[in-house]
Amino acid sequence: MEMLNPHCGIVRDGRGVVRLAVCNAGSLNILSSAVTDGVREGFENLVSDRSVRAIILTGQGEKSMIGGADIREMAKLDQKSAEAFITRLRDLCETIRRFPAPVIARLPGWCLGGGLEVAAACDVRIAADDAKFGMPEVKVGIPSVIHAALLPRLIGMGRARWLVMTAENIDASTALAWGLVDHVAPSGGLDDAVEHTVKALLECGPEALRIQKQLCRHWEELPLAESVNLSVGEFGKSFLTGEPQRMMGGFLNRKR
């Protein structure tokens, strides 16, 4: 593993797939300010690397990708330092959300609070069959904020409200039924399930995927008519990449 900083390591393969790990953050990969900054810096280090086709975000070990934010650090905060702490986490989530290539969240074990906000900012969420999800902030006297705002878009306002107001956890099968995760792997099959998605992404045009991810982000933010009209220009721009000509030509040649 190549360590980009003390809290972020990467493994690249020959296909342009990068496995980016949260490192040296305890057994549950907890987000302190230092860890949050380290992981964000890891993503920023890769953002201009156009050879990156996909990122798999993972933790060290199988207890979690990110278990949550650091309660020990948060217990010492005041209003000003609390805003600085949560701004760091917001910036990490937004860096992932705006990363040009697809980001897959690999989700074993616990995914709580800040960990679930990071997962929600990823493009694809693949969970182990024993994974658990929750937003426990109100149980420790704080609201769920920042990219918890993505939850109503994923699972609907009613279920999002239930998660952030009851602080109850849900299991992987419930998360799948709700649309919080995209796939639940059978026991021992998490990496195989992640690889299946990686292969699907690699069959797509890399430039087309970058445009598609950007459009998905616009669809989250913009009114419908604006989203529709914006996409016309993006469709046209895709023909400047050469991918449609190459990939459509290959498709037509296979059909002959």
Contact partners, residue 82, CB within 8 Å, separation at least 6: 74
DSSP letter for 186, please: P
User: Among residues 117, 168, 195, 226, which one is catalytic?
Assistant: 117
Residue 22, both tokens: 């949260």
Q: Does the annotation mark 203 as catalytic?
A: no
Q: Does the annotation mark 137 as catalytic?
A: yes
Q: Is 20 left (phi over 0), alpha (psi -120 to 50) or beta?
A: beta
Q: Using CA atoms, how far apart are residues 82 and 145, in angstroms rounded to an integer? A: 12
| Axis-axis angle for helices 243-255, 206-221 (nearest 10) | 120
Query: Which of 57, 58, 66 lies closest to 26 in space, CA to CA?
Result: 66
User: Among residues 41, 73, 94, 137, which one is catalytic?
Assistant: 137
Q: Using CA atoms, how far apart are residues 128 and 191, in angstroms rounded to an integer? A: 9
Which residues carry out catalysis?
A: 117, 137
